[in-house]
Structure 1
Amino acid sequence: MQPRIAVLFRHGLLFFLLLFCVLYPAVASAPDEPATLSGTVRDPAGAVVPNASVVATSTRTGQAFQTSSDSQGRYEFAGLPPGQYRIQATAPGFGERIETVLLRAGQSAQLELSLPMSPMMQVVTVSEIPGEIAAEFHKVPGSIALVGKVELEQSRAATLKDALAFTPGVLVQSRFGADESQISIRGSGLRNNFHLRGVNLLVNGLPYQDADRFSDFESLELMATERVEVWKGANALRYGGNTMGGAINFVTKTGETAPPLELRVVGGAFGFYKAHLATGGEAGPFGYYASYTAGEMDGYREHSQQGRHRLFANLGWRLGPKTRLVVDILYANVAEKLPGALTRSEFLSNPRQAQASNVTGDWGRFYNYVRVGTHVRHEFNRTHTLSLNVHGQYRSLDHPIFQVLDQDSRNFGGEIHYAFQGTLGSRRNRFFLGFAPQHGTTGERRFVNLGAGQPLGQRGSLTALFGTEATNYGLYFENQLDLTAAATLIAGGRADWARREFKDRFLADGDRSDRRTFSAFSPKLGLVWRIAEEAQLFGNVSRSYEPPLLLELTSFGAPGFLPLEAQDTWQYEVGTRGRLGSRLEWDLAFFDAEIDNEIINRNVRPFPGAPFTIPSFRNAPQTRHLGIELGTGALLGEGLASAGDRLTWRLVYTWSRFRFVDDPDFGDNALPGAPRHLLRSELRYTHPRGFWVAPNLDWSPARYFVDSANTAVNTSYAVLNLKAGYDWAAGRNMRASIYFEAANLTDRNYSGAVQVDNDLGRFFEPSDGRAIYAGLSWRFGR
């Protein structure tokens, strides 16, 4: 029995082994059921990050799979072979997130990815930058800046300084604590003692300005803004920009990016409060976003009360798979008192006082503003795109200053924009062409200002009645040709024709009617060279041509128009940008602007003994603006107190040397109004549970001149500030955050903003003293 059992066992084992050898290859070659991995990419605040790159790499075979997150931050890998994977997520403006996941056959796994903030991205925190903008950034032969939603949310979002403080080359200081600001890019519009010139402002790519390029800030709402793009100099040509300073584009929230419900409240020192309520979403082919914001401020200074009510709506409609219609509607009601500038003795003795004539004359600015913009974009295919934009705005203004100005202005414009992305020969090529007409009219009545407390109001007898018109036609183009995989040549230009007209209807003092026309062609040539995987050199040369504003042409001393020429600038720029891994990022640029006929002002007394000044303007035959802009940031450490925490540092530094060149009145004196050195630095600690704290320094280490004769100076200052916040999940699909800010911790008396060339010596606009602010926000549903 034993031998027979042994034989049977041996034969059975042999048969089993033969059967295994026959069947195993088929069994082994049969694939396991594939796995699926999906999730959402978010930033540290919990907001979704679209266009993030997600790479899944098998740790066994090294095979890599790549996808990108969609507009809702979602990503998905379908059909992954089972096994262990290294998941790597990256996005512009963020650090790298690496996770490891084991996928079993047939498994549908979820992996949420939270990207840490990069220590720097163009010197500011950047969030949710669309892929096409991030790609465009690397083709720009000059310095630009992108400010994302996280930067705006972790601030009061009350003034432009809250958004642009960490942008090199941009001087921005609030006047009397309000959103009215002194703002200049590379010295553009330094003559500005109020509002803005020399920079194109846009909302969603459409002009936010009068037809003559005059702009203010009080209707812009940062809480409804998704990101801010700063395109310096001729780098703004993609938006038809034609100014030395470039363009600032405020990109608003939409139904695709906004949560279904958002509530935000901020309040604090000097009677400041601001409340914001917004909703957004999508329903089939329709998208909507709507917000209402209200705010008030008593002000640090006497006679500086402010009030704002703003409504904004963005409505989108996908007319087809390749056609989209977007409508923007903006309404603002603005009320503000104007405290004016102080002499040095007034500034030192009591910085909270107002200019006496501003109080007795009850100087202020009150207006209602409506703006509608429509944008239609059609993609014929992957190569050709056509856009049509139409916009219009109306402002009704009551403006008691040295006289009471009563204005109604209407401005309309359009743009047709063609874009091509394809090849030229065997090289990648991008080309765009645009035509942008604008026309604006203003009717103005001026009255004697009787001052505050009059029984029939401030208005006395009529002193002026006139109308103005501004018309512009701009034709622009740009071509970007990839000479090699590492080098891109950019060439473009803009042709401008402009007319300015003044129609005098108050003939008691003579007919001052006048008309002027201006025309020029402004070329641009640039090169971007990628010298390493994450480092670039860039350079460009360009011309900008800026006709005078109507308020400049009609200012004091004009029998009709002042004999002003257009400001004509040739600008040269070289620089580098890049990063070293995830530890260090930089953006460094040097610029030289050679300017003919720079438009500068002098605030003069309209009559001997006048207690106030009014602006007049002239051309400086030649001026030169030299500057260095540096933005850098570093990741100093991780895991310091807890796994996943981070300590980062960022710094922006701007050196400016702006001078007259052989001026008949001022020789080679320094141009007034710009700090020689301006440095801002921030140290930030971020905890993975949502807590962050960020002390920062605002430092102007050297005095600078505030008059063209170089006899009066603004002194140096260093201001310490502190920000902190906490963001947490307050429930399912709900996030909440608190915000805290302590400004000017040492209660430094300083003048961040100045007025230049004031005949009464009123150069100084005191910045706010020590102030505490706090805010709370809720976001529901996304």
Structure 2
Amino acid sequence: MKKRTLRSSLLVSVALLPGVAYAQTTVVGGQQAVTLQELDVVATTPTPTLRNAQGVLLGQDRDKLPQNTSVLTSADVNRVGTPSVLRALDERIGSISINNAQGNPFQPTITYRGFEASPLGGSPQGVAVYVNGNRFNTSFGDTVQWDLIPDIAVDRIELEGSNPAYGLNALGGALSVQLKNGFTYQGTELNLSGGSFGRFGGSFQHGQRSDNVGLYVAGTALSENGWRQHSPSRLRQFYGDLGVQAEKGEFHLNFMGAINSLTGNGTLPVDLLDFKRNEVFTYPDKTLNAFGRIGLSGTYDITPTVTIQGNAYYGRFEQNTANGDAAEVERCEANERFLCSEGANEEQFFLRDRLNRRVQASSVRTANFARLPAFAERFDEGGPYAFLNSTRTNTENFGVSVQTNVRETLFGLPNRFVLGGSYDGGRTAFTADNAVGGLTFDRGFFGPGIVVRSDDNSITPVSVKSSNDYGGIYLQNNTDLTDRLTLTLQGRFNMAKIVLEDQLGTALNGNHYFQRFNPGVGATYKLVPDLLTVYGGYVEANRAPTPAELSCADPLAPCSLTNFFVGDPPLKQVISRTVEAGFRGKLPSPIELGVLSWKAGVFRARNEDDITFVPSDITIGRAYFQNVGSTRRQGVEASLAITTPVWNAFIDYAFVDATFQSPLTLASGGNPFATPNPAQPDNSEANQIFVRRGDKLPGVAPHQVKVGVQYNVTPEWRVGVLGRVATGKFLVGDESNLNKTTGNYAVIGFNTSYRVNENIELYGYVENALNAKYATFGTFSPVGEVPILALPNASSNRSLAPGAPIAAYGGMRIFW
């Protein structure tokens, strides 16, 4: 019994090595049996790594890839007991940084090498994300909704640098998530957990195989109150897969769905943050996500050396948001039936019908008496007001991809050739409106409020339909020129067609077409076979402007930060050119001594015609998308890991230097170091900052170190520690780098687990054990326009997204 447990612990430990590819794992009763000699095979295209009928893995030997790769397994996702993809990425990949601008643990922006993969529509999406081989970036804004991925069902995660085969958005890299099925997981697990901030959750998974049929189902339900005020979240996720193996192939039908309610209340002004860290500035900020996707995939051997793979999917995504903000408006002097935004032309917003009468009448029906007088009085006296920005996004998405793998010699040399094509389509209906109501004493929206519109319908309300059709043809060829030297040639032709149809007028109408061929070339050389390999490569990638960006590109008709879309000037597509080089290796030793692995590399990516969300100088709280010239991201990545039979450890380091390469003049009304705009000297929102070549991009941590150790005290009892150190990031709105950063920080956590018997495991973990006070994101908030009763002298516009304080969680895993 003890010998078997020790062997299982070792195999799991080996799977935790950073960057070690995970090829095939069968899980029975919570125990993973890993085929060690196959750990270094990974996918290099959107279609995931699979076996053909002869048992040959269709991916590529990782040692022959001309770019850095990292692979996380289900053991990484479950490292502390409660499965989490986001935690695994944040803790295990040195060049990944978390920007929690929303203030919700399930809605972070992930930056990889300074490129973003975010659920927020105002973020420039620079990472292509795939789940089960299907594109996961949403159709309307290319956003990545991390809360929709069923954590417990994740089999492996493969992350690599820019690769043209992954199509649009792979500017900085590509992330591929492969979910489990009945052939890779057998058994049943129930995971129950709970802890700080009212969190309670449970998840289950069950996999079984009967001859050539495999079945897998998994689900999660989680609720928490959140550590900040007014910030509860509810997650409901489900995944199921039915697989069939045939003589020459394997086929799967699966379904993924989620219904989630997420509340994140954003950044907090530093004065209020010092006073009470769990406060919120304005609220609510709620997101409701409903998602369902059905997928069909298959692998078929045409000959023993030629295999065809295919994927098809159809899904729907519905998102409703409600965002409460202070309304920096006042009654227009010329006509009190209108509200004017500060610094804007009068008659900017029109209150429908009779303002006071409708406000007070509707309030009586819904509000309690204690809150009613303040609400009505503020309208009578001219404020303060609050906005409730509401959006509704209904998207239908579908796609298909086909890929052929040929493993035959070329001029007598070992060769692997891949030819594939994909199509991804989306049809979206987007609507948004703006209601004005009262601002409560704790800075919340008090309604129900009255829907407002701009006097010429140029800003709000909004109703638009969009269709996007993305197609691509790609190829990749790997030739072993010698037993040490491998040459890789890549290329993909991307096509994107985007059509916008305004449902309220014609301002948003547009028809856009983009196309580009992206090449790639690289090589690897084994300096010391099986011990040390060097690599280098050059690739190009592109992304087309999204329907959301194209609908919000007019500086004269800016949109809300909560995604109101107006105007339709053309935007150019973003083109990225990346070079990277490095080395990697491992030192296998007798099993009693363990295995040492390492990797180190450098990269440089330059974007042309980069797109960013630029603040408006005519309307407070709104912005628009704009091509801002060139940006550059360069840096160093290094990792060292050791695994022994009783303990394992790793350390990852990343340096990311992300800079503007073109001078810019931007509006930045909240920046205390901004200078008045000569054209609008009396409009503080038109204040300008001047970005110079070499200024740092906001939201990117230059240095990060991540460390982890796990130790088996006994075969049944394991303890571990995880730590992260990061330097500060410049604030969004401070692109000229004149203000303080978010600040450096170090966070440490502890975890432990005890295997009671073959069927029960208890676990616990503590996050931010030293209760560090830190921030992951920063911007500016209009403190002067929003009364903070507890801090009447608050004056700093600097606003940060605070990290969570110390928290403890525990749970139990039951296997049978």
Separation in 2 of the partners of 1:303 and 1:350?
Answer: 14
3-state DSSP of counterpart to 1:209: coil
> Where do residues 190-229 of structure 1 align in structure 2 (5 Å cutoff)?
197-211=125-139, 213-229=142-158
CA distances 1:718-742 after superposition (whole Å, capped 9, x unpaired): 1121112123533xxxx33222111
| Aligned residue number for residue 65 of structure 2 | 140
CA contact (8 A) 1:41 1:73 kept: no
The alpha carbon displacement at 1:658 in A equals 1.0
3-state DSSP of counterpart to 1:748: coil
3-state DSSP of counterpart to 1:512: coil
| Aligned residue number for residue 663 of structure 2 | 663
Q: Which of residues 268, 279, 282 in structure 2 aligns to 1:353?
A: 279
Q: Amino acid of the residue matched to residue 576 of structure 2?
A: T
Separation in 2 of the partners of 1:433 and 1:758?
Answer: 50
Q: Is the counterpart of residue 178 in structure 1 residue 109 in structure 2?
A: no
- CA distance change for structure 1 residues 220 and 42 in 2, over 3 Å: closer, same or farther? farther
Q: Is the counterpart of residue 580 in structure 1 residue 587 in structure 2?
A: yes
Q: Amino acid of the residue matched to residue 602 of structure 2?
A: F
CA contact (8 A) 2:467 2:499 kept: yes
Deviates more, 1:130-139 or 1:703-712: 130-139
Structure 2 residues without counterparts, runs of 5 or longer: 16-22, 41-49, 324-387, 438-443, 454-459, 558-565, 589-593, 666-690, 784-796
Q: Is the counterpart of residue 431 in structure 1 residue 417 in structure 2?
A: yes
Q: Is the counterpart of residue 336 in structure 1 residue 262 in structure 2?
A: yes
The alpha carbon displacement at 1:340 in A equals 1.7
Separation in 1 of the partners of 2:118 and 2:242?
Answer: 38
Q: Is the counterpart of residue 716 in structure 1 residue 716 in structure 2?
A: no
The alpha carbon displacement at 1:614 in A equals 4.0
CA distances 1:443-475 after superposition (whole Å, capped 9, x unpaired): 122233356887879977882221011111111
Separation in 2 of the partners of 1:289 and 1:48?
Answer: 25
> Where do residues 404-553 of structure 1 align in structure 2 (5 Å cutoff)?
404-449=390-435, 463-507=461-505, 511-532=507-528, 533-553=530-550
| Aligned residue number for residue 794 of structure 2 | none
Deviates more, 1:598-607 or 1:211-220: 598-607
Separation in 1 of the partners of 2:159 and 2:742?
Answer: 27
CA distances 1:75-122 after superposition (whole Å, capped 9, x unpaired): xxxxxxxxxxxxx9844669xxxxxxxxxxxxxxxxxxxxxxxxxxxx
The alpha carbon displacement at 1:687 in A equals 3.7
Q: Amino acid of the residue matched to residue 659 of structure 2?
A: R
CA distances 1:621-677 after superposition (whole Å, capped 9, x unpaired): 111111101111135xx6xxxxx533x321111101111114233112111111111
Q: Amino acid of the residue matched to residue 369 of structure 1?
A: F
CA contact (8 A) 1:329 1:370 kept: yes
Separation in 2 of the partners of 1:317 and 1:378?
Answer: 12
> Where do residues 156-167 of structure 1 align in structure 2 (5 Å cutoff)?
156-158=82-84, 160-167=86-93
Q: Is the counterpart of residue 296 in structure 1 residue 223 in structure 2?
A: yes
The alpha carbon displacement at 1:232 in A equals 2.0
Separation in 2 of the partners of 1:202 and 1:444?
Answer: 24
CA contact (8 A) 2:471 2:494 kept: yes
Q: Amino acid of the residue matched to residue 667 of structure 1?
A: R
3-state DSSP of counterpart to 1:682: strand
3-state DSSP of counterpart to 1:202: strand
Q: Is the counterpart of residue 623 in structure 1 residue 668 in structure 2?
A: no
Q: Amino acid of the residue matched to residue 383 of structure 1?
A: T
CA distances 1:296-353 after superposition (whole Å, capped 9, x unpaired): 11111122211011111011112x2112211120110011123121223233332211
Q: Amino acid of the residue matched to residue 280 of structure 1?
A: G
3-state DSSP of counterpart to 2:274: helix
Deviates more, 1:212-221 or 1:292-301: 212-221
| Aligned residue number for residue 12 of structure 1 | none
Separation in 2 of the partners of 1:73 and 1:372?
Answer: 27
Separation in 2 of the partners of 1:727 and 1:598?
Answer: 51
Separation in 2 of the partners of 1:664 and 1:450?
Answer: 34
| Aligned residue number for residue 555 of structure 1 | 552
CA contact (8 A) 1:193 1:756 kept: no
3-state DSSP of counterpart to 1:511: coil
* Count of matched residue pairs: 654
Aligned-CA RMSD value:
3.2
Q: Which of residues 753, 762, 781 in structure 2 aligns to 1:738?
A: 762
CA contact (8 A) 1:602 1:616 kept: yes
| Aligned residue number for residue 14 of structure 1 | none
Q: Which of residues 385, 389, 392 in structure 1 aligns to 2:311?
A: 389
CA contact (8 A) 1:622 1:661 kept: yes
* % identical equivalent positions: 20
The alpha carbon displacement at 1:590 in A equals 0.3
CA distances 1:417-438 after superposition (whole Å, capped 9, x unpaired): 1110111121100011111111
3-state DSSP of counterpart to 1:651: strand
The alpha carbon displacement at 1:159 in A equals 5.3
| Aligned residue number for residue 699 of structure 2 | 673
Q: Is the counterpart of residue 151 in structure 1 residue 53 in structure 2?
A: no
CA contact (8 A) 1:270 1:298 kept: yes
Separation in 2 of the partners of 1:650 and 1:520?
Answer: 40
- CA distance change for structure 1 residues 771 and 458 in 2, over 3 Å: closer, same or farther? farther
> Where do residues 204-283 of structure 1 align in structure 2 (5 Å cutoff)?
204-211=132-139, 213-234=142-163, 237=165, 239-240=166-167, 243-283=170-210
By relative contact order (CA 8 Å, sep 6+), the higher-ranking structure is 2
- Normalised by the length of structure 2, the TM-score is 0.75
Q: Which of residues 735, 748, 752 in structure 1 aligns to 2:772?
A: 748
3-state DSSP of counterpart to 1:406: strand
> Where do residues 8-157 of structure 1 align in structure 2 (5 Å cutoff)?
43-44=8-9, 90-91=36-37, 132=57, 135-155=60-80, 156-157=82-83
Q: Is the counterpart of residue 569 in structure 1 residue 534 in structure 2?
A: no
The alpha carbon displacement at 1:165 in A equals 2.1
- CA distance change for structure 1 residues 594 and 460 in 2, over 3 Å: closer, same or farther? closer
Separation in 2 of the partners of 1:201 and 1:190?
Answer: 8
3-state DSSP of counterpart to 1:270: helix
| Aligned residue number for residue 611 of structure 2 | 599
Q: Amino acid of the residue matched to residue 695 of structure 1?
A: V
| Aligned residue number for residue 375 of structure 1 | 297
Separation in 1 of the partners of 2:25 and 2:185?
Answer: 15
The alpha carbon displacement at 1:279 in A equals 1.4
Q: Amino acid of the residue matched to residue 577 of structure 1?
A: R
CA distances 1:155-214 after superposition (whole Å, capped 9, x unpaired): 332451334421132223555342211201111138986677211211121222324633
- CA distance change for structure 1 residues 141 and 131 in 2, over 3 Å: closer, same or farther? farther
Deviates more, 1:589-598 or 1:253-262: 253-262
Deviates more, 1:271-280 or 1:154-163: 154-163
The alpha carbon displacement at 1:562 in A equals 4.1
CA distances 1:722-780 after superposition (whole Å, capped 9, x unpaired): 112123533xxxx332221111112111112x155778756421110010011211121
| Aligned residue number for residue 116 of structure 1 | none
3-state DSSP of counterpart to 1:769: coil
CA contact (8 A) 2:700 2:729 kept: no
3-state DSSP of counterpart to 1:44: helix
- CA distance change for structure 1 residues 430 and 460 in 2, over 3 Å: closer, same or farther? same
| Aligned residue number for residue 115 of structure 1 | none
Q: Is the counterpart of residue 682 in structure 1 residue 708 in structure 2?
A: yes
Separation in 1 of the partners of 2:24 and 2:606?
Answer: 45
- CA distance change for structure 1 residues 48 and 579 in 2, over 3 Å: closer, same or farther? closer
- CA distance change for structure 1 residues 47 and 631 in 2, over 3 Å: closer, same or farther? closer
3-state DSSP of counterpart to 1:260: strand
Structure 1 residues without counterparts, runs of 5 or longer: 1-38, 51-67, 75-87, 95-127, 639-643
Q: Amino acid of the residue matched to residue 654 of structure 1?
A: A
Separation in 2 of the partners of 1:488 and 1:759?
Answer: 56
- CA distance change for structure 1 residues 456 and 90 in 2, over 3 Å: closer, same or farther? closer
Separation in 1 of the partners of 2:184 and 2:451?
Answer: 47
